Structure 1
Amino acid sequence: METTKRAREEVRWEDMLFLLLISGAALLTRFYLFPIESNDYQQFLQNWFATLKENGGLAAIGMNIGDYMPPYFYILALLTYLPFNDLYLIKLVSCAADFVLAYYVMRAVSLRYPGRPQGFMAYAVVLFLPSVVLNSAAWAQCDAMYTAALLACLYYLLVNRPNRAVLAFSIAFVLKLQAIFFAPFLLLLVLKRKIKLRSLVLIPAVYILSIIPAAIMGRSLWDLLTVYVSQSKLYTSLCMSIPNLYAFLGNVASEPLGDAGVIFAGGAVLMLLYALYRKEYTITPDILVTIGLLFAILMPFILPHMHERYYFLADIVSVVFAFYFPKKLYAAVIMCVSSACATANYLFGLVYYPQQLLAVAILINLVLLMKHLWELLSQNPIQRRVEAAV
C-alpha cells in the first residue's frame, strides 16, 4: 500500500502532460480513420444500428437483430438517441474502450516499475499498436471492449483481488465469446487456490443480469441463453485469415475437421493445465503475466474457426509481457506484427506475406514462451510448501 501511495506521489506534471498529449494524438489519429467503411460495418453494424433506431432505440433491444450478446446492442441502442453519424458513433465507443484498455495496461506495468515512466510508455504503445488503431477506428470492431475487461482481470490478479478479477472476466464474457481465451488461466488459479471456487458464481450471475433487459423486452430467453452456441455454428472455414495451426490447410471448410480440432484443442489445454497444476511453485506477478500471455496465444492458435483479429488479446498481453521481461521483446514483436498483417489483409486486401510463415513464427514464439515459463516455475519449487506450513 505504501509503495503504491509513494508511486502516486512521484507522478510529475511532465507525466500528466505526456499522457494528455499522447491521448490527444491517439484520438486524432483515429479520427482521420473514421470515414473508412469496413465490410463488417456495411454488412452488419449499419443494419443493426438502423434497425434499433427505426424501432425506438431501447424499445428494440428485445428484437433478435444480430449474433452479438445483448450488452453490445444496449450500447448501440443508447447511441441511436444522439444526432450524429452512426458510423462515427459506433467507432467512438470502440475507441473509448481503447483508452480503458491502455489504462489497465499502464496500471499493470506500473506495478513492476512504481514511480517510473514505463507504465506511461506502455499506455502509449497500446494506443498506437496498428491492430488496436485499425480495429476500432477503421474496422468499427469492438474487440477493445472485452479485452479491456480481460486486462482489468489480469491487473486485479496481479494485486491479489481475485473477486474483482472474476467480475472483470464475467464482463468480458458477456461482451465477446473470445473471453474464453482466458478461461483456462482462471481455471488454473482456481485449482491452485488463488481464486475461490465460489467466486466463479459471478460468471453466470453477470450473464443472467446482462440478458434480463432483452428478455423483459420480449426476446426469447432460450435464444439469449444460447447466443454463443448459435454463434459458434456460423462459420465453417477452419481458418479465416489468421496465422494459426489451420493456416497450413488453406481456406478449407470441413465440419468433421472442425469438430476434431475443438477436441484436439481441449486435449492440449488439459495437458498444459495438468502440468501447471502438478508442478510446485509460488505464483508471482511474473508467472501470472507469462501464463496469461501463453493462453492468449495458444487458444486462437490451436482452435479452428478463428478470425484474423483473434490475436487481439495476445497483442495487448504481449506488451505487458515485454515490459516485464525487456529481453523477451521479440514475443511482442512477433505477435503484434502478425496481427497487423492479418488485419491489413482483411481490411485492405494486402496479401503481402506468407500466412504459413507467420504461423511458424507464432509457434516458435509459443515454444520459447513455454520454455521461459518453465524456467520461472523452477526457480523456487519448495517455497509454496514452506508458506503453506506457516
Structure 2
Amino acid sequence: MNRAAFAARPGYALAGILVLVVLSYASLLDWRTSDAEWWFAPWVEHIIQHGTRASLAAPMRIAVEGADGYANYSPPYLYLLALASTASAWLSAFGMVKLVAVAGAVFCAGCVWHLLRALAAPRTALVAAAGTLLLPSMILNAPVWGQTDTIWAGLAALVVSFALRGQWAAMLLAFGAAVAFKLQSIFIAPFLLHVVLSRRVGLRLLPLPLLAYAAMMLPAWLAGRPAWELATVYLEQAGTYRWLSMNAPNPWAFVQYARLMSYETGVLLGTGLTVLAALALGVLSLRWRRLEGADLLLLAVTIAATMPYLLPKMHDRYFFLADILAYALAVCRPRRWTIAVAVLIQLGSVGAYVSHLLDFTMGKYLGAMLIGAALLILLRHLALALGLLRAAASDVRPAFVGAYPR
C-alpha cells in the first residue's frame, strides 16, 4: 500500500500502533525498580492487609529491606492503589502497581487526544494520541518504572486543552485536580496566569482549583485523616532530599557535581530565578500580541520545559509534561523546528531516565544540554509569536493543522 493510501486509512496506522504498544508494554512489565519494589508494592500490601480506610486515615508506615519510611505520595495515588488492590486474587502487589501505571499511560493518551482535537483534524488527533503510548519517556515511565507522572501531566495537558477551547471553569478544575495528584503540576501555573489575565477570566471562577483539590482529598478526610495534613501534604515531601538534582537533566546537575555552591544557596537562587521566569512568561507576554491556537500551545511547552530546567531539587521524571506537550506541538504544527524541539526534549528526558534506571551517569548531563538547546529554540519562536522578532519567510506558515470551531 502506498503512502497516500495509508494516510487515507488511519485505521491501519492506529492498529499498527496498538499492536506495538501491546508487544512493547507486555515485554517490559516485569522490569523491577526500587520505587515499585521498596515503596509502591508494600503500600499495596498494606492496603490489602489493613483495609482501605485504615490505610488512608494516616500515612502508611512501611519497613522493608532497603527502605523504611512513610507513604508520602498524595492520597489520590493511594486511591488508585486501593482500587487496584481489588484484583489481589489475580495479580501480585507488584503487578497491581504496574496495572495502575499502564492505566495512567492510557489516561494520558486520552488527555493528549483531547488537546490535539482542539487544533488538529480528528484522524490526526486519534492516531497521534495513540502514538504517545510509544514515546520513549512514556514507556520508561509507565511499564518500566511503574510511575504515574502520566496522570498529573495528563491533567495538566487538559488545562491547556480547555484553555484553547475557552472553557475556563473546566481549565481551573483540571488544574486543581492535577495539583492534588502531584505538586509538579504547578509547572503549568505561569500558563494559567497568562490565560487568566489575558482572557480576563471572572474572579468568581478562581476558587475552583481549591474546590477541586479539596474534592480529591475528601475520601482521605472521610477515612479519618486530619484536614490540615491533607492541606499541607506536600510540605513533608519538600524536605525529603537535600540534593540540588535528583538525576534531573538541568544545570543543577553540573552545579551539584562541581560543588559550585551549597544546597541552601542553590535552593534560594534557583527558586528565585524560577519565580522571575514564571512571572516573565506569565505576565510580561501580555504586553505584546495575544497568543491563540498553536501559539498558545507553544507558550505552554516553553513554560513546561523552563520550570523544571531552572528549579533545583528536580527529579529525572519531571520533564514528562514538556515531553508530551512538545510532541503535541510537533503534531499540530509540523515544522522542522517543532520536530527538533520534540526530539531534543524527548532525548533529554530519556538521558535522565537511563541515569537512574541503568546507572548511566552521563545521561543527565547530556540531557541537560539537549533540553537547553530545545529551550533556546522555543524561546526564539515564542518571541516571534509575540512579535518581538521579525519572522523569516520560513516561519510564515499556517499556524496549525485544522482548527477547533469557535
Report the counterpart of residue 322 of structure 1 in structure 2. Answer: 330
Q: CA deviation at 1:21?
A: 4.5
The answer on 1:265 being equivalent to 2:274 is yes
- Aligned identity (percent) is 30
The answer to whether structure 1 residue 71 and structure 2 residue 76 are counterparts is yes
Residue pair 1:69, 1:174 contacting (<8 A) in 2 also: yes
Distance 1:19 1:222, change over 3 A: same
Between the aligned partners of 1:112 and 1:268, the Cα distance in structure 2 is: 27
5+ residue gaps, structure 2, are 1-6, 61-70, 391-406
Q: Rate the CA distance shift 1:22–1:225 in 2: closer, same or farther, 3 A.
A: same
Match of 1:42 in 2: 37
Q: Which amino acid aligns with 1:304?
A: P
Partner-residue secondary structure (3-state), 1:61: helix
Q: Deviations over 1:127-186 (max 9, x none)?
A: 111110111101110111111111222222222212112222221111111100101100
Asked if structure 1 preserves the Cα contact closer than 8 Å seen for 2:173 and 2:208, the reply is: yes
Alpha-carbon offset, residue 224 of structure 1: 1.2
Counterpart check, 1:123 vs 2:126: no
Alignment partner, residue 119 of structure 2? 112
Q: Distance in 2 between matches of 1:58 and 1:81?
A: 14
Following superposition, the deviation at residue 379 of structure 1 comes to 9.0
Q: Which residue of 2 aligns with 1:254?
A: 263
Deviation readout 1:227-269 (Å, 9 max, x if unpaired): 1121111111001111112122135661232133212211222
Residue 286 of structure 1: aligned partner: 294
Render the CA deviation track for 1:204-239: whole Å, top value 9, x for unaligned: 111112222212222232221111121111111001
Residue 20 of structure 1: how far off its partner (Å): 4.3
- The structure-2 alpha-carbon separation of the partners of 1:191 and 1:310, relative to structure 1 and needing over 3 Å to count, comes to same
- Sort the Cα spacing of 1:363 and 1:176 in 2 relative to 1 into closer, same or farther, 3 A: same
* Alpha carbons of structure 1 residues 348 and 217: separation in structure 2 relative to 1, 3 Å: same
| RMSD over equivalenced CA pairs, Å | 2.3
- What are the superposed Cα offsets for residues 330-350 of structure 1, whole Å, 9 maximum, x if unpaired? 100100011111112211223
Q: Which moved more, 1:80-89 or 1:171-180?
A: 80-89
Q: Establish whether residue 366 from structure 1 lines up as the match of residue 379 from structure 2.
A: no
Measured in 1, the distance between the counterparts of 2:175 and 2:51 equals: 31
The alpha carbon displacement at 1:43 in A equals 2.0
Aligned to 1:9: none
Is 1:342 equivalent to 2:352 in the alignment? yes
2:232 paired with 1:222: no
- How far apart, CA to CA, are the structure 2 residues paired with 1:358 and 1:134? 15
- Could you list the per-position Cα deviations for residues 261-305 of structure 1 after superposition, in whole angstroms to 9, with x for gaps in the alignment? 2122112222333321222x2331122110000110000000000
Say whether the 8 Å CA contact 2:76–2:180 is kept in structure 1.
yes
Per-residue CA deviation, residues 67-107 of structure 1 (Å, 9 max, x unaligned), is 11111111111222212112222212221221222233234
Question: In the alignment, does 2:134 pair up with 1:139?
Answer: no
- Could you tell me which of 46, 67, 88 is aligned with 2:95? 88
Q: TM-score, normalised by structure 2?
A: 0.84
Aligned residue pairs, count: 367
The 3 A distance-change label for structure 1 pair 32 and 356 is closer
Change (3 A) 1:380 1:37: closer
- Mapped to 2, the partners of 1:89 and 1:127 lie a distance apart of 19
Partner of 1:156: 162
- For 2:318, give the aligned amino acid: Y
Q: Which amino acid aligns with 1:87?
A: F
- The runs of 5 or more residues in structure 1 that have no matched partner are 1-11, 382-390
- Which whole-Å deviations, capped at 9, do the CAs of 1:26-53 have from their partners, x for residues lacking one? 1332122111120111221122111111
Distance 1:224 1:97, change over 3 A: same
| Deviation at residue 14 of structure 1 after TM alignment | 4.0
Check conservation: 2:174, 2:209, Cα contact below 8 A. Answer: no
Equivalent residue for 2:240, pick from 234, 237, 247: 234
1:58–1:78 Cα contact (<8 Å) kept: no
Q: Which amino acid in structure 2 is aligned with residue 243 of structure 1?
A: P
CA deviation after TM superposition for structure 1 residue 119, in Å = 2.1
Question: Contact 1:34–1:87 (CA<8 Å) still a contact in 2?
Answer: no
Aligned residue for 2:49? 54
CA contact (8 A) 2:281 2:303 kept: no
Letter in 2 for 1:33: L
CA–CA separation in structure 2 for the residues paired with 1:124 and 1:379: 36
Partner of 1:166: 172
Q: Which residue of 2 aligns with 1:30?
A: 25
1:97 match: 104
Q: CA deviation at 1:307?
A: 0.2
**Which runs of structure 1 show a deviation greater than 4 angstroms over 4 or more consecutive aligned residues?**
none
Flag the 1:134–1:356 CA change in 2: closer, same or farther, 3 A. closer
- SS of the residue corresponding to residue 318 of structure 2 reads coil
Distance change (3 Å), C-alpha of 1:380 and 1:346: closer
SS in 1 for 2:352: helix
